[in-house]
Chains A and B, each alone.
Chain A
Amino acid sequence: MQLRKLKQVRHLLKPARASASNASASGPAILLAAMSLMTLKPAVAEIAPDRGLMSLRYLDYQDSQPGENRIHVGATSAMVMVPLAGEWAVTGTYTTDSISGASPRYYTYDSNGKFPKMHDLRRAEDVSLTRYFSQGTATVGASYSKESDYISQGLSAQGTLSTEDKNTTFNFGTAVSNDEINPVNKIVIGERKHVLDMLAGVTQVFTPQDIVQFDLGHSMGDGYFSDPYKIFDNRPRSRNHTTAMLLWNHFFYATEGTGHLSYRYYSDTYDIRAHTLNASYDQPTASGWMLTPEVRLYSQSAAWFYLEPDPTARPYPTFPSYGSTYYSLDQRLSSFGAITLGFKVSKKIGSDWLADIKYEQYEQRNNWSVMGNSVPLDPFRARSIQFGLSCLF
């Protein structure tokens, strides 16, 4: 597209040169400088990307409970977005996760190195095609993910529609996924899980420094939701959840920084309700760096079938009460609160490259929940480091 513009200008340049008898440097010098101004993308119009984007990202994740490192994840993601024919863009993402370490079979207040060791490799591919219209976009996508015991296949469709003044944009999307579960312990064979997701929302420009997005999501899942590697784990075969999400970005004139605030409300048919509050702030510096501190607060209630540990049963797991159908000892279904503190540093290199590094520290505790009082288990901590590099081409 830029090339096309330059060609138009060069074409115009010829007659001017031809008509000059003693042309020398200043005219072309000025025109050349002027032409570079015209290659800038218009800031107003919402148009298809005219350059491709390539991104590479690496994640190193390690979680732990007092005295023991648990799961380590090393993940690499590569994404390529290529614009096509001025109105289309195709995006492909490839991700590999290497998971190793130990996962507890039941509560972690008495771990003592009893976690079974595990190692797994996940590969995921994701492709999407977007068509740009003058007042909206339409995207279709497909995804595939494979682990030794889990295969997931998904399809999605999304759209946006803007008002003429582009101050209001409606977003909607739907996705289906079809998963197959074959645990290595063969506790079940060829289990299935189907999930249908729907999302609708609106993005509104309120002032020259404020933009707000509100999304409502609903997800309906059927199938095998249990954890095959935990003892006493039998979960309802249907899980629906609803989310309401509010995001607000604010630009501060005084510092030229941008604040991001978001809140998510989550509720599902397991009776888990959760509040998530996220705040981050981007501060650009004069030398081209961007500094982003971040804090995230999370709190959830327990699933109705979560089996609270009975301290008198230690060191053995608590047994489900006689006659109960659904039960789980999974810590993730207890009521707990969590805090994340993060810091990201990014730097633009030249006009086409962007590099970043992000560090996050996460901690989960049962007595941090504002909506339940599960028996406190060991605090759960995790730290993650991400490196990212992307370039326009």
Chain B
Amino acid sequence: MNVTVRQFKAMACACEIALADATEAEAALKAQHAIDEVLRIETKYSRYLKDSVVSKINAASGLGWVACDEETLHLLRYADTLYRTSAGLFDITSGILRRAWNFNTPRVPDQNELRPLLDKIGWSHVDLKSDNVRLSRTGMEIDFGGFGKEYAADRAAQILIDAGIAHGYVNLGGDIRVIGPKPDSSAWSFGIQHPRERQLIATIPMSGGALATSGDYERFFERDGRRYCHILNPKTGMPVSHWRSVSVLAPLAIAAGSCTTIAMLKEKDGLAFLNETGFPYFAIDHHGNTFRNATSVTPATA
């Protein structure tokens, strides 16, 4: 069986779907359905589209309840689980800090700039009641950027599984969900980006499950010898700095991705958290030391 690979752009990332099916035409059609699902999620939850679900919820902040469909409710409940599991560090209302942090210009916002934004952050100000959600403070915003890409990878993979695909993977900008091994039963091999150099730091063979990575190298600027990255603590409004990169292997991409982000946010407590999750991980701290609990992660011989 041939492996069909489709490359496309979605959620501001280079994406790839690989799958093996009896015929190339069937494979192309099934891959298209999976891509359509990724684009559906992107459109439905985009912050940039005024008719998106997220925009409607945000537009009603401080005003009243917004009725939600089942998928949105599930995502909100998932966000609630992450908030509680991370002791309030993973907070989908923290995106508003984007207004102070623009990673295109190396400027560190001062407290006067951050304070009014921090007042509008807090999952505890979001009320969920049966099929409805309410942002109780005017000007609050939620967004699903923290796990939307990983969720899309899982949903796309599920579409392929339902269509009878047993061999393949979905890779959305490094968030990977494997459907099954290569047609010859051997594992796919995925690399983990070196956080400082343009090369791989490790490779991971995978026959199932998911791999996600968070790092301080995705969006950042450096000023006065300090790196300011895009992962921001919702309590201080400041970037995290302990980890250069965290990768986690889990059954679902959304679970893997959430764990990497929480580990980054927990800074030095992130290691204990990773051990506690029980998932295999590979992490690099700000000194360049690597930590891992899985034999399956092999350092790349660069």
Contact = CB atoms under 8 A, between A and B. Distances in A.
Interface of A: 5, 8-9, 12-13, 16-17, 19-31, 33-38, 40, 42-45, 47, 164, 253, 256, 284-288, 348, 351
Contacts of A22: 275-276
A16 B131 contact: no
B128 interface: no
Interface string B63-89: 011110011001101100110010000
Given A38-B154, A288-B67, A348 B131 contact: yes
Nearest to A39: B74
A42 to B, nearest CB: 6
15 contacts: A12-B251, A21-B293, A23-B278, A26-B276, A27-B259, A28-B278, A31-B251, A33-B77, A33-B81, A33-B82, A34-B252, A34-B254, A284-B67, A286-B67, A287-B132
Interface string B46-74: 00000100000000000011110011001
Contact of B255 (A21, A31, A47): A31
Contacts of A31: 250-252, 255
A287 B78 CA distance: 22
Contacts of B267: none
Contacts of B262: 26
A288 B130 contact: yes
Given A38-B158, A253-B51, A26 B132 contact: no
B277 interface: yes
Contact of B40 (A33, A44, A287): A44
Nearest to B66: A286
Given A23-B278, A27-B277, A286 B254 contact: no
Contacts of A253: 51
B194 interface: no
Contacts of B132: 286-288
A22 B161 CA distance: 32
A13 B279 CA distance: 9
A241 B294 CA distance: 74
A58 B76 CA distance: 37
A37 B77 CA distance: 9
B171 interface: no
Which A-B residue pairs are the 3 nearest by beta carbons? A27-B277, A23-B278, A20-B278
Contacts of B252: 9, 12, 31, 34-35, 38
Interface string B21-32: 000000001000
Nearest to A351: B70
A283 to B, nearest CB: 11
B249 A45 contact: no
B81 A30 contact: yes
Contacts of B146: none
A44 B36 CA distance: 8
A20 B275 CA distance: 7
Contact of B276 (A12, A23, A42, A348): A23
B94 interface: no
Given A40-B70, A164-B29, A286-B65, A24 B258 contact: no
B209 A30 contact: no
Nearest to B208: A12
A33 B90 CA distance: 15
Contacts of A44: 33, 36-37, 40, 159
A30 B278 contact: no
Interface string B240-265: 00000000011110110011001000
A20 B293 contact: yes
Nearest to A24: B276
A16 B74 contact: no
B123 interface: no
A9 B259 contact: no
B191 interface: no
Given A28-B278, A33-B81, A45-B159, 19 more contacts: A12-B209, A16-B251, A16-B279, A16-B280, A19-B294, A23-B278, A26-B277, A27-B250, A27-B278, A27-B279, A30-B255, A34-B254, A36-B78, A37-B154, A42-B37, A164-B29, A256-B67, A284-B67, A285-B67
A45 B51 CA distance: 22
A38 to B, nearest CB: 6
A227 B250 CA distance: 72
Contacts of B40: 43-44
Contacts of A164: 29
A36 B159 contact: no
Given A34-B252, A42-B158, A23 B75 contact: no
B169 interface: no
A286 B127 CA distance: 13
B131 A288 contact: yes
B85 A286 contact: no
A17 B209 CA distance: 13
B167 interface: no
Contacts of A17: 278
Contacts of B277: 20, 23, 26-27, 30
A16 B275 CA distance: 11
Given A42-B37, A164-B29, A37 B131 contact: no
A38 B153 CA distance: 11
Nearest to B131: A288
B38 to A, nearest CB: 11
B278 A16 contact: yes
A253 B50 CA distance: 10
B221 interface: no
B162 interface: yes
Given A5-B158, A27-B276, A16 B250 contact: yes
A5 B158 CA distance: 9
Nearest to A28: B278
Contacts of A20: 275, 277-279, 293
